Every structure is written in C-alpha cells, then in structure tokens.
A and B are shown apart, each in its own frame.
Chain A
Amino acid sequence: MTMSEFKRASIGRGLLILAMGLSATMAFAQVDLAGNWAVREGQDFQERGPGPDPVDYTGLPINEEGRAKALSYTASILSMRERQCLYYIPPYLVIGPFPIKMWEESDPDTGRAVAWKIGGIIDRDVLTIYMDGRPHPPDYAPHTFAGFTTGEWDGDTLNTYTTHFKAGYLRRNGVPTSDKATMTAHFMRHGDFLTVSVEIEDPVYLTEPDVVTHVYVLDAKTDIRPTPAPCTPAAEVPRLHGDGLVPHLFPGKNPAIDEFATRYNLPRETALGGAETMYPEYRKKLQANYKPPEKCVRYCCGWEGQGAQNTLTNCINRGAPANAEQEKGRF
C-alpha cells in the first residue's frame, strides 16, 4: 500500500467510525437505570415477603405436569445440599423480596455499553445483560443460576431475554420451572420508579407465559453490594445428611392440598391454578358459592410501608395472635 492509498483508506475508515457513532447515538436513545432500587411491597406482600401458602397456585398458567410436580414438593427439599440454591434463578428478581442494584459496564476504549448488570443479593447471582449484540449460546451449552441474557433499547425501555438458566421455581411454594424456560423482561424507568415486567415461558410446565410486574423505587440509602455472598449449601438437617433420604410427597398425598383453599373459602380446583384462573371470566365460576372468610387470620396489616411511623398494634394482635410480639412492626 502506498502512502496516498494508506491515507485514503484511513480517512475512509475514520469517516465510517464517525458515521456509525452518530447513527448509533440517534438510534438508541436510552435512560440511565443505574442506582440502588428499593422494594415497595404494595402488591403481593405475602408472596414476596413471608412466602405464599402451600398449594396456592392461583393465577399461574401451569399445566398438569407442573401441577403434579408442585404437589410433590415439600419444603424439606430445600434442606438437601444439592437443592438449597434452586430458588435463585433470574425470575427470583420479581418473586423474591429483595432490592436490586444496577450499573452499566462500558468498553474503556469506545465508551459503548457492553453490558448492564443487576447485582446479586443474598443467594441470587449477578445478572449480566449483554448489550453488544453477541448471540445466545447453543442449546447444549451449560445452564447456570444466572443464565445468559442479552438486551436492547426500545426508546427508554430496556428489553432483555434470558436463556440457559437452571431448573428452579416459579413461586416460592414449589411451582417449578424447567431448564427449557426463558425470561423476557422490560425495564421502564419513570422518574424515581423502575417498573420491571417479566414474562416467563416454559414449554414443560406452563400453557402460556407467566407475567409478573414489580415496581422499585430509587433509594440511595438502600444498602446493596454488587456481588452477593455465594449460595453455599450446607447440611442443615442432620437426618437428611448422607443417608440418601429424599424428601418428597407421593401423588395424592399432599397433606396441605386444601390448606389455602379452606382458609379462603375457595374450591380446591381454584387453588390448583391453571391459565383459566388468570382471566376475569373465571369469577363467574366462583360467584354463586363464594363467601368471604369471616375475618382475616394472619398478615392482616401486611406491609405498613418503608417509613411507617405507626405500628398497627390492634390489627396485629387481632390478626396474628400466635406470634404477634415477634412480628410486631413488620406484619
């Protein structure tokens, strides 16, 4: 290459880089999602806080196989070393009770975003959202707790797609997800609110996507570390350690199958969920025979608010007599 050819080629490449930079900036308007985002439990307090009742599958589009697996679940499963961390797959972002920390990682040479990251908390791994257009790995690639996530901006909404995460749980009472499940998420910031809407698709256990939406509030005082302490399995129940016992419930033998349904005056079939229970017309099936329970028996005041100044003592004593003092100030 002569000197003049070299100059022409260099100028051309420089113009190309400039043009690509300009066009990319115009195509990808985006909002800053970085910060510490605190939880507000204004919805699904029980689900995300103390945890759902056993055999409450209402509003979940599970199929027969998912239902059967959920009914075989016992919380003792989580005492097994190899299963202690199973809850902490990406959907735990919106079914768990924890705040999130988000930050961007950029290329030191170009300044372009390489990834957005959502910090882990307690046992959930850091979620890396690749923004550089790399492809998802092939189906046979290993599945991890964090999975593999790519993202792209649509205006001010960050859309992400997660694959390759391990089989885990969709609800914290044993409703399963398979390792074929995927998660699509939409991150929408409105001032100090961050709304995250997630759809989980699972050809093994769901008949249609499960959609969950959660709102976080920007709060610099929320103390979150970027990297969590790892989920470290340990023998917590001596009888489960080393003797080969596998906690389980046989088909038709779940002792809690009517616990939720009885407490809230619902038919068993309603408690067992399915896509039908998600839609307004399902109410017609319930209307003729439904009567509200006489009174609330627990979690009655639920979440009082992050900065609650008044503890609703009367409500607490009425609603949760067994452990009122212990839970005072929270429930």
Chain B
Amino acid sequence: MNLSEFLRHKMPVMAAAALLCGIYVQVFAQAPAGAAPATPPPTPKAAGPIDLTGYWVSVITEDWRFRMVTPARGDYASIPITPEALKIADQWNPAKDTAAGEQCKSYGAPALMRLPTRLHITWQDDNTLKVETDAGQQTRLLHFGEWKAPGGPATWQGDSVASWETPRPRGGRARAGTPPAPAKTGDLKVFTTHLRAGYLRKNGVPYSANAELTEYWDINTHHDGSKWIVVTSNVHDPMYLQEDWITALHFRKEPDGSKWDTTPCSATW
C-alpha cells in the first residue's frame, strides 16, 4: 500500500478510533469501577467555573455624569421611578443625611457597583466570596450553599445568596456516585435581600427596604488579552420603581492593588 492509499483508506479509521477513545476517556475516565464510596462534591471555591478573585477597576464609559459626579437635584433620568419615589427624591437633603450618620445611603448593594471604585475580591472561606470596595469601604459577602441569614437589622449590603451557573453538560453522563467534573465556563448568580433602605443614585433616588437585587457576574477575555467582569444587575422594588431597573457594568482586572485608594462614604460626593 502506498502513502496515498494509506491516507485514503486507513487514515479515517484510525482518526475515528482516536477521537472515540478520547471521548470515552473524557466521559468515563473519572468514574470509579464498582461501588466505590461517593466522592464529596467540591466546595464552591473549588468548583468555581470562573476566577473572580483579584483587583478590578470600574471603567466609567456610561452614565458618566451620574456616576463620576453628583448630579443635580431632580435629575432622575434612566431610573423608572414612581411618583412616590419622586416626592422622596425631591426632598433629598445630604446635610441631614450626614448629620444622621447616614452618609452611606448611596453605597448600598443596589448602587454600590455603579460607583467609580475598585473591587478587591477574595475567598473568605470555602463558601463565602468577599467583595470589598475602596469607594465607601464597603464589604459584600456572597454566601454559597445552604447558608442561612443570621437575622437582625437590615444592612447596606443585605444578605446575598450566591450560586454558580454552568452550561448544561452534553454528550455523556458520569456514572452514579461520581461528581461531575468542574465546569470551566459559567457565571455567578447573586440574589440579595434584607437591605437597609438607601439611594440608587447619589442625589436621593430611593430604594426601599423591600428591594431585591439579582446579579449575574460574567468574565470576558478581551481582544487585547485583558480580563473583564461584566455584572448584569436587576433591582426589583415595586414601592419605588415602576418596573425593574436593569443595568450592566464592567470592571477590568488590574495586576495588583497598587491603585487601591480607600475613601469614606460621602453624602455629597
């Protein structure tokens, strides 16, 4: 058999065999033989399909004049507020907020991620992702698993329950008792409640204590190789919003924390 005949007749069979072997290995290699004891599932930290840890900076390319500076009293564009919310926002009094020790009203979870800020994201433990901001020095704790809220007074950052969302596996299934291999792509879903009432925007647009925040955190790799977090945010608050306030934000990864610059909450700036 010459080379041409070999390529024409044998090569497809060999290539097919190699590919099918590869698939078998991919699907079944982790399945133990017999009735071996079940392996415990990986912790949320170990199972994370994306790595959110590190320092990230918000890049303010949208809604610039609402985010980089404090807008005028009465400037509520883009937020679908109710007439009741309008009345409250029109009474915005930052001096009164400061005197009452409520400078952080615009740093609650529904507004925090829109601030010009850096994020420092770390694992507090195997089940808790910690998100710190230098703007306002806030800390969000995103709890995975069967976490139960401790109760007590509502807080600016509320109670956040987190879960990984991964693509539905296709093309085969693992044997019983074998945990699925950790996914390599996916996103983080976060649902936050029990919030202390605050402001969606620095100029007093309110959200109520009954507001609910749902977020989806994705990571993209850009054409230049940089990593970006994209957070899709949905604020649900029938008391002050005519419909859900849906936005998206982006943060670029930084090599280290050298630009981290903590600033306290401010009611005016």
Residues on A lying within 8 angstroms of B by beta carbon are 5, 8-9, 11-13, 15-16, 18-20, 22-23, 25-26, 29-31, 40-47, 58-60, 154-157, 159, 161, 182, 184, 186, 188, 190, 193, 195, 197, 199, 201, 209-215, 217, 264, 266, 277-283, 286-287, 290, 292-297, 299-310, 312, 314-315, 318-319
Contacts and interface: CB of A to CB of B under 8 A. Distances in A.
Of B68, B172, B218, which is in contact with the most chain A CB atoms at under 10 Å from its CB? B68
B169 A277 contact: no
A154 B185 contact: yes
Contacts of A9: 8-9, 12
Given A15-B17, A43-B63, A286-B69, A296 B223 contact: no
Given A19-B23, A280-B117, A318-B74, A213 B250 contact: yes
Nearest to A46: B77
B9 A310 contact: no
A305 B82 CA distance: 10
B81 A209 contact: no
Main secondary structure of the interface of A (DSSP, over half): mixed
Given A26-B172, A40-B246, A156-B186, A184 B59 contact: no
A197 B252 CA distance: 13
A293 B168 CA distance: 51
B62 A161 contact: no
A62 B127 CA distance: 42
Given A12-B13, A201-B223, A310-B242, A279 B72 contact: no
B177 interface: no
B32 interface: no
A108 to B, nearest CB: 22
B171 interface: yes
A290 B268 CA distance: 11
Nearest to B184: A155
A295 B223 contact: no
A305 B23 contact: no
B203 A25 contact: no
B62 A182 contact: no
A261 B80 CA distance: 26
B75 A296 contact: yes
Interface string B212-235: 000010101011100010101010
22 contacts: A9-B12, A11-B13, A22-B19, A31-B167, A42-B80, A44-B78, A45-B78, A186-B230, A188-B216, A190-B165, A199-B223, A201-B224, A211-B252, A213-B248, A215-B247, A279-B60, A280-B58, A280-B134, A286-B68, A287-B269, A303-B78, A304-B81
Contact of B250 (A11, A211, A307): A211
Contacts of B9: 5, 8-9, 12
Given A9-B9, A59-B68, A197-B248, 11 more contacts: A19-B20, A42-B78, A155-B167, A157-B220, A264-B72, A266-B69, A280-B58, A292-B69, A293-B72, A304-B80, A305-B242
B170 A29 contact: yes
Given A25-B171, A292-B72, A295-B73, A197 B228 contact: yes
B48 to A, nearest CB: 13
A286 B75 CA distance: 20
Contacts of B15: 16, 19
A266 B64 CA distance: 12
A315 B76 CA distance: 9
B167 to A, nearest CB: 4
B74 A195 contact: no
Contacts of B148: none
